[in-house]
Amino acid sequence: MTPGDTAGSRDAASAEDEARRLDETDPLPTLRGEFLVPPAPGGSHPEAAYFAGNSLGLQPRSVAGLLREELEDWARLAVEGHTRARRPWVDYHELLREPAARLVGALPHEVVAMNSLTVNLHLMMATFYRPAGDRTRIVIEDSAFPSDSYAVASQAVHHGLDPARTVVRLRPRPGEEHLRTEDVLRFLEREGPTVALLMLGGVNYLTGQLMDMPAITQAGRAAGAAVGWDLAHAAGNVPLRLHDWDVDFAAWCSYKYLNGGPGAVAGCFVHERHVRDASLPRLAGWWGTDPSVRFRMEPQIAPPASADAWQLSNPPILALAPVLASLRIFDRVGMDALRARSGRLTGYLASRLAAVRGAETITPADPAARGSQLSLRVTDAGGLVRRLAERHGVVADAREPDVIRLAPVPLYCTFHDCHRAAEALADLAPGAA
C-alpha cells in the first residue's frame, strides 16, 4: 500500500464516521426499520443503499398485515365484505381521503384515490381541456415524462387538432438544463390568449427540478388557461398546497415516493370551485354518482360535490391497502419534517458528489429548487448503474443515454447510504482515477 493509499483510506474512514454521526444526531431519525430494504446486489453489503425510490418506493412492513386482513375478510365474508369487512370495501377509498388531502395541501372533498396517473390526466383533460377559437394550445415542458407527451398529443388529435401545432414544449435557454420561472411567466404573458391548458411536472423526472408551482399557476390562470400539474415526482417528495395555490387539477402516482407498490392506485385533485359545478363535462362511470343513490341503479348520474364525481369504477381493495399503509406513515411524520430531512440528506450527498470527477450534477444547486433527487450526467449511464449495484450495493437508475438519478428518500435513506453512494461513484465514475 502506498502512502497515498493510506491517506485515502484514512479520509474514507473519517467520512464514514461523519456520516454515521449525522445519522445518530439528525433531528428526524430514519424510519428505515419500517420498510423492507432489499439485500445489496452482489452480496457486497447486507442491505442495499437504495436510491431508486423516485422510480419504485420500498415496501412498508405494515403492508403485509393489511393485505392479509383483506384476504381473510374476502375468504370469510365473500360479497358481505363490502359492508362487513374490518374496513368495509364499499367506502374503502374514504380511508385514504383525509391523509391524501393533508399530503397535497387540499380539502378532503378535493381529492380521490383512483386509477393510474395517466388515466387520471386524461379524465382531467376531458373536463379542463376545452379548445375554442384561438385558445387551443397545450403547454408542457420539453423534458416532460413521455406518457405526458403522448397524453397531450392524443388529446389534441381527439379534438381534431394537429399535435405539432397544438402542443407547445417549453425549453430551457441554450446551454442550460432547467426552465427559468421568469421565462415561463414571460411566455404566458405573451402567448396566454392562445393557451387552453398549462400542464407541467411539479418536479421534473429527469433533472429533479422543483418548479415554482404557485407563481406559474397564478400566471397561467391570469392568462385564462386551465392549470394542471403532474405530481408523479412531487407527491410525497415536497410539501404541496394545491388548494391555496388555486390549482385547477392535479394527478399523481403512488408507487414512487408514496411507496404504494408497483402500479399502485393513483391520486387526483380537483379544486373545490370545480367540484361543485355539476355542469362541467366529464367522462362518467358508476362510482362517480352520489353514494346515497348509487345502488338505486338509476340511468341518470347524480355526481357528488367532490372529486369523487370523476371516479369511474369501484376501487381495487387489494391495491388500495398498500397505499393506505404508506399514507399512514406520511400522516404520522408530516411532509414539513420530511422536507427538512430531505434537504439535509440531499445537501450532504450533493456536497460529496461535487468532488466526483466525470459526473456533472444537472439538478439545481439551490435546495429550494429541488426535491429528493440528484441527477448526474455521465457516459455509459446504464453500465455505471449496473456496476454501482454489483460492486457496491448502491441501487440507482439510469435514463439513457447519459443520466443517472439518485433519490435520497428521507423516510428510509441514511447519511451512511449517501456516503456509500459517493464512495462508489468516486470509484466507478468515468473520470475516476
In angstroms, rounded to a whole number, what is the distance separating the alpha carbons of residues 260 and 151? 23
Give 59-128 as a DSSP string: EETTHHHHHHHHHHHHHHHGGGHHHHSSS-GGGTTHHHHHHHHHHHT--GGGEEE-S-HHHHHHHHHHHH
List 357's β-bridge partners, or say none: none
At a CB cut-off of 8 Å and minimum separation 6, what does 309 contact?
275, 278, 282, 288, 303
Tell me the β-bridge partners of 170. Answer: 141
Can you name the residues that pair with 229 across neighbouring β-strands?
Answer: 200, 250
Residue 73's contacts (CB-CB under 8 Å, 6 or more residues apart) are: 81, 84, 85, 86
Q: According to the annotation, is 146 in a ligand binding site?
A: yes
For residue 184, give the C-alpha cell.
415561463
For residue 233, say whether it is annotated as part of any ligand binding site: yes
Length of the chain: 433
Q: Is 120 annotated as a binding residue?
A: no
Rounded CA-CA distance 330/107 in Å is: 17
Annotated binding residue at 117? yes
Residues 6+ apart with CB under 8 A from 108: 97, 98, 101
**Is 314 among the annotated ligand-binding positions?**
yes
> Is 230 a known ligand-binding residue?
yes
* Alpha carbon separation from 91 to 82, 113, 247 (Å, rounded): 8, 11, 27
* Sheet architecture: strand order including 397-399: 360-361, 374-377, 403-406, 397-399
**Hey, what amino acid is at 266?**
A
- The answer to whether 50 and 58 have CB atoms below 8 angstroms apart is yes
Please indicate if the annotation marks 147 as binding a ligand: yes
For residue 393, count CB atoms less than 10 angstroms from its CB and return exposed for 0-12, middle for 13-18, buried for 19 or more. buried
Three-state SS for 220?
A: helix
Can you tell me the distance from the alpha carbon of 400 to that of 377, in angstroms, rounded to the nearest whole number? 10
DSSP 289: S
**Has 148 been labeled as part of a binding site?**
yes
- Which residues are CB-contacts of 248 (< 8 A; sequence separation ≥ 6)? 128, 221, 226, 227, 228, 270, 271, 274
List the binding residues: 117-118, 145-148, 230, 233, 255, 286, 314
**Which positions make up the binding site for pyridoxal 5'-phosphate?**
117-118, 145-148, 230, 233, 255, 286, 314
